[in-house]
Structure 1
Amino acid sequence: MFSLPHFPEVGVQAEHRKRDYFIALFTFITTAICLITDSFAPLEMQYVLGVCGWTFLLAFLWGECKYVRVQVLVAVVFATLGENFASLFMRGYIYRFENLPFYVPAGHGLVYLTAVALGRSGLFQQYARVIALFVVLLCGAWALWGITGAERKDEIGVVLYGVFLLYLFKGRSPMVYLAAFFITSWLELVGTTAGTWAWAEVDPASGLAQGNPPSGVAAWYCLVDAVALNGAALFFKGLEYLKRQSFKKNIKVNIND
């Protein structure tokens, strides 16, 4: 049977929280609305969409623990830096107005939070291995089609598919990466189909042909997820270290007094 490290057994009892499903459903729907709207609306609409995105993100974070909040913050910062580098500098993909839309940072926060919510949901916990097998086969078929049958060759997609598998097999949180495949594939297909952005025919970093979007595009988002997970862990370790140092200093002062 197909298995991955840290995956729950098939049929494991899991808690089905309505909040997790609501976050996911809300993000899937509003992502489509946002990206389709931005495909034809004037530039000023991006600011309206951005305000809405930040409002919804902050509202959802209100009900999350501090650990998830820090993860989302790290994801937003890292993804925004990555967008500026990959899109504005490298020109690997270009938005309609050749800018970085105002809603993108908040959008990355919502996408990451959705991956977390789905990854911890009862559905994903209960059927983890079945979902993993489905994702591996589907993404693999997409990558194979990209180099054999697609009108626009997608060599970079095969590379990214391999990276995506590496995250699933070796990453800290395969459930989050699995969930990321669904939400990121959805937003990439909607965004590129609507014309909100377009991927360059040749990846500027590797020189390989790439699809619009690349089949293994979820790997890029998995990188954001991995940085968020590890970044939050480092943040709290650092915070705990500072607390210990402060405690030791206070003890020393009291003894000297």
Structure 2
Amino acid sequence: MQFSKTLLGQTLQTLGWLLLAITIGLILDSKFVANNYYANIQPYIMVLIIPTYIYLYYKANPRTRELLLYAMFIAIGGEYLFSRALGMYTYRLHNIPHYIPPGHAIVFVLVYYFSRKSRVKYHRKSIEKFCTALIIPFAFYFLVFKNDVLGFVCTLLVFYFLRNHPKERMFFLVMYCIVAITELIGTSLGCWAWPEIAFNKFSFLPSANPPAGISLFYFGLDRGTMSIYKRRHKKVWNRFKQIQATNL
């Protein structure tokens, strides 16, 4: 079997490249680089992000192109709402870096591509169990050792919502893991920070930096993106669900 048709190969083709790009981008935007080399390299990160976004856009089929656009516009609104208006987290330069919204869209579409790979779908149940086995001790560790009540509550809500979305369970569990890794890298490099309590207002919800289960808020991005598409293409979406059901 060709390597590209194995589970490992298909994972590296999608999540591997995604995590590599995330790591490079966040290192460039880190406090270390800002303090020692260049104070504001964020505009130059766009030189990497925009070609990647354009490449994925033109490589995609019409349906995925729409999803990429919706995901970016929802990400723009979400960033200004949660970071600027509500103070949920703060970026290093107290702004919304321009690379972040298209970055959210890239994360969304590459996790989506991963979930559609043939070997990934074949091993869906095993991947769900593997992700769950990582998430549960991760959330408990943050709760016990970092007093991360916010992250633990968010994790519980993730699993609660997934009860009613079994066909999307793998996608969201993988997204949880990718977001957790991204948050750990971003906060450790000083690209952004979370306050000690939720929204810097609710003392009954202590938070770690980052909160463990903050991928819960990706539900808004993911569900919003899919919801817009489904409303614009009801017939196509119904046909897609029928095909998806026969492949399970």
With the shorter chain as reference, the TM-score category is: 0.7 to 0.9
User: Are the counterparts in 2 of residues 167 and 222 from structure 1 also a CA contact under 8 Å?
Assistant: no
CA spacing shift, 1:74–1:166, aligned 2, 3 Å: farther
Work out whether residues 10 and 117 of structure 2, in 8 Å CA contact, stay in contact via their aligned partners in 1. no
SS in 2 for 1:173: helix
Quote the offset at 1:97 in angstroms.
0.4
How do 1:217-256 residues align onto structure 2 when only pairs under 5 Å count?
A: 217-237=214-234
Name the counterpart of 2:211: 214
- Taking a change above 3 Å as real, the CA distance of residues 206 and 229 of structure 1, as seen in their structure-2 partners, is farther
Residue 167 of structure 1 contacts residue 177 of structure 1 at CA under 8 Å; is this kept in 2?
no
Cα shift at 1:111: 0.5
1:95 aligns with 2:91: yes
Measure, in 2, the Cα distance between the counterparts of 1:63 and 1:16.
22
The answer to whether the 8 Å contact 2:10/2:120 transfers is no
What amino acid is aligned across from residue 108 of structure 1 in structure 2?
Answer: H
> Kindly tell me: are residues 210 and 157 of structure 1, through their superposed partners in 2, closer, same or farther at Cα, counting changes over 3 Å?
same
1:253 aligns with: none
Question: Is 1:154 paired with 2:145?
Answer: no
- Structure 1 spans left out of the alignment, 5+ residues: 1-14, 241-257
The C-alpha deviation readout for 1:143-191, integer Å capped at 9, x for no partner, is 222222x1x3100111111121134322362232122123212211110
* Aligned-partner Cα distance in 2 for 1:93–1:131: 30
Distance 1:186 1:147, change over 3 A: closer
Paired residue secondary structure (2:147): coil
* Paired amino acid for 2:25: C
- Specify the code of the residue in structure 2 equivalent to 1:30: A
Q: Which has the higher contact order (CA 8 A, sep 6+)?
A: 1
Aligned length, in residue pairs: 224
Which residue of structure 2 aligns with residue 24 of structure 1? 15
How far apart, in 2, do the equivalents of 1:43 and 1:239 lie? 48
Contact between 1:16 and 1:121, CA under 8 Å: does it hold in 2? no
| Cα deviations by residue, 1:176-215 (Å, 9 ceiling, x for unpaired) | 2122123212211110111111111100264411111111
Q: Which residue of 2 aligns with 1:62?
A: 58
8 A Cα contact 1:118 1:179, kept in partner: no
The residue number in structure 2 matching 1:189 is: 184
TM-score normalised to structure 2 length: 0.82
Alpha-carbon distance, 1:137 to partner = 2.9
Q: Percent identity?
A: 24
- Which structure features the higher share of helix residues? 2
Distance 2:92 2:137 in 1: 29
Q: Where does 1:109-128 land on structure 2 (aligned, <5 Å)?
A: 109-128=105-124
Worse overlay, 19-28 or 96-105: 19-28
TM-score, normalised relative to structure 1:
0.79
Residues 1:63 and 1:238: Cα distance change in structure 2 (over 3 Å): same
Using the alignment, how far apart are the partners of 1:162 and 1:19 within structure 2? 29
**Residue by residue, what CA displacement relative to the aligned partner does 1:107-147 show, whole Å, maximum 9, x if unpaired?**
01110011101111234212211221222232121222222
Match of residue 5 from structure 1: none
Between 98-107 and 16-25, the greater mean CA deviation after superposition: 16-25
Q: Distance in 2 between matches of 1:26 and 1:210?
A: 30
Give, as a single letter, the amino acid of the residue that structure 1 aligns with 2:123. Answer: Y
* Ranges in structure 2 where 5+ consecutive residues have no aligned partner: 238-248
Q: Secondary structure at the match of 2:206?
A: coil
